[in-house]
Amino acid sequence: MGKATGFLEYERQEAGRIDPLERLKSFREFHRYPDEAGARRQAARCMDCGVPFCQSAMVLNGMVTGCPLHNLIPEWNDGIYRGNEEHALTRLLKTNPFPEFTGRVCPALCEKACLNGELGEAVTIHDNEHYLIEKAFEKGWMKPRIPRRGNARRVAVVGAGPAGLSAADALNQRGHLVTVYEREEEIGGLLMYGIPNMKLDKSVIKRRRELMEAEGIVFVTGADVGKDVPARKLLKEADALILACGAKKPRTLPGADPEKIPGICYAVDYLTAATKALSGKEGISAKGKDVVVLGGGDTGNDCIGTALRQGCRSVTALEVMPKPPQKRLESNPWPEWPKVLKTDYGHEEAIALFGKDPRIFETTVKEYLTDSKGCLKGIVTARAAFREGKQELLEGTEQELPCSLLLIAAGFAGCEDYTPKAFGLELSSRHTVQTEEESCQTGKAGIFAAGDMRRGQSLVVWAMAEGRRAAKEVDRYLLK
């Protein structure tokens, strides 16, 4: 696939991002994507490797490497290289319903498994995907696909995040009548409210919604199933249901209660408020504040980038785990997921603005300091170590930091339980909806679960794969 000698002739050249100090001036998207000549050169590097690990989603040493959607990457790279981009698009859309989302926010598990990455630099799969789908919209190739309704059944999908949207898309294309219920005013779930605009412009989600509505999918927003929309209504109206409400229950930390200490906030609430503020609504702002983010990962990085754009006075990120190495260790060989230090866009921006990396590793909060009104004014940190699986704070390592906004980005503790309870469903020990082994089928006939609500907090690409899997099971169930 690609050019037989392309990986020898061309170096990896990423499309890159807008300069950090320039992009900090607004919440506009910072992604670039290559021009046609650049895309063809990079696609030419996709080698005829025989076994494309990039599309495998293998589990190696407890970690997944390769694409969970099993994208036919060598095929559409070949199409880009040969200038046959419309055909390349058909190969991309065969497995990936929303490349405009993954092409922006996916950490590119595919690239970590690329054979070129064993001894050199991986193919720019992520950039190529972004280029191909944006060119498709630009050229008008993305037209509504109106399905036949010969043997239609009614399906209700609860939750319009990536899992719910991908399930709705697949079932609609199979000819079923799909209605998606979403408690927020806009669809997208964490795509809309958990991922900042500079990383995923919200017009991209609205563009996709218009396409899906033209294809016959009905969206009912502002509808909180299990509260203002009774479960019995959906059970009566639909032949099958998919619950894809995500895993938004934040993981709490001892002593860090947002209801008791003003100035402490869960990251997802902060990011949601920041997105809504772009449309004129009041929200939480980091302007002029000393911000501390608890937790690494994508959510913590998004908090850093958002706080910088809001005009924070300082930003510090505390990560309890040790600092990863710059390069792979011998114990972490290709094609395993590389356990190396990742300096993401928010970190780059903080370095450009303040002259230093905002992250402090192996450190956590020992004490929260408040003023006379009970509002947060600072924190006391301490070095952390793990002994026999338990976290210990090292005496004598305490330091005081100014902090008027503390953002908890320590992950999620499962799904909110009121919706599954409304349907009489059981939850697992991980606070996810209990399903049959290796299935999306719950303990109630005709009710399925997908995405983070079933497998726990994960990546957008996994949620999309889950949605497609659930749709396949629902289709089989309906056509028995």
**Residue 149: both structure tokens together:** 């309704």
CA dist 201 and 458 (Å) reads: 21
Tell me: the pLDDT tens digits for 272-293?
Answer: 999 999 988 888 999 999 999 9
pLDDT of residue 283: 83
CA dist 70 and 57 (Å) reads: 7
Range 364-379 average pLDDT: 96
Tell me: the pLDDT tens digits for 61-96?
Answer: 988 999 999 999 999 999 999 999 999 999 999 999
Task: Specify burial of residue 218 (Cβ count, 10 A radius: 0-12, 13-18, 19+).
Answer: middle
Q: Which residue from 254, 340, 342 is spatially nearest to 301, judged by alpha carbons?
A: 342
pLDDT of residue 296: 86
Tell me: the pLDDT tens digits for 185-226?
Answer: 999 999 999 999 999 999 999 999 999 999 999 999 999 999
pTM of the model: 0.95
Domain with CATH 3.50.50.60 in the chain: 154-248+413-478, 264-408
Q: Are 410 and 300 a contacting pair, CB within 8 Å?
A: no
pLDDT of residue 147: 95
* pLDDT band, very low/low/confident/very high, at 267 (cuts 50, 70, 90): very high
pLDDT of residue 80: 97
CA 26 vs CA 67, 188, 271: distances in Å: 32, 22, 15
CATH code matching the domain that covers 6-139, chosen among 3.30.110.40, 1.10.1500.10, 1.10.1060.10, 3.40.50.1440: 1.10.1060.10
CATH topology of domain 154-248+413-478: FAD/NAD(P)-binding domain (3.50.50)
**CA 333 to chain centroid:** 26
**Residue 433: both structure tokens together:** 């909806």
pLDDT of residue 387: 85
Helix and strand counts by DSSP (H, E) for the chain: 18, 16
Local structure of 218: helix, strand or coil:
strand
Indicate if the pLDDT at residue 100 is higher than 80: yes
CA dist 349 and 356 (Å) reads: 10
Residues 6+ apart with CB under 8 A from 340: 324, 325, 326, 327, 328
The CA R_g of the chain, rounded to the nearest whole Å, is 23
User: Mean pLDDT for the chain?
Assistant: 95
Range 160-170 average pLDDT: 98
Tell me: the pLDDT tens digits for 217-264?
Answer: 999 999 999 999 999 999 999 999 999 999 998 888 888 999 999 999
Tell the residue number behind the tokens 């997802």, with chain if given.
268
Residues 6+ apart with CB under 8 A from 294: 253, 256, 300, 318, 364, 365, 406, 407, 408, 409, 410
Q: Which residue from 75, 169, 126 is spatially nearest to 450, judged by alpha carbons?
A: 169
Q: Vertex 416, ends 410 and 420: CA angle to 5°?
A: 145
Tell me: the pLDDT tens digits for 3-32?
Answer: 889 999 999 999 999 999 999 999 999 999
Q: Which of 30-34, 142-146, 147-151 has the highest mean pLDDT?
A: 142-146
Range 418-427 average pLDDT: 96
Domain with CATH 1.10.1060.10 in the chain: 6-139
CATH topology of domain 264-408: FAD/NAD(P)-binding domain (3.50.50)
pLDDT of residue 1: 65
**CA 335 to chain centroid:** 22
DSSP character string of 349-384: HHHHHHSS--EEESEEEEEEEE-TTS-EEEEEEEEE
Q: Are 300 and 409 a contacting pair, CB within 8 Å?
A: yes
CA dist 253 and 247 (Å) reads: 17
Residues 6+ apart with CB under 8 A from 93: 99
Q: Are 250 and 413 a contacting pair, CB within 8 Å?
A: yes
Range 386-402 average pLDDT: 91
Residues 6+ apart with CB under 8 A from 444: 423, 424, 425
* pLDDT band, very low/low/confident/very high, at 333 (cuts 50, 70, 90): very high
Residues 6+ apart with CB under 8 A from 117: 111, 334, 335
* pLDDT band, very low/low/confident/very high, at 389 (cuts 50, 70, 90): confident
Helical pair 73-81 and 85-93, crossing angle rounded to 10 deg: 170
Tell me: the pLDDT tens digits for 102-143?
Answer: 999 999 999 999 999 998 999 999 999 999 999 999 999 999
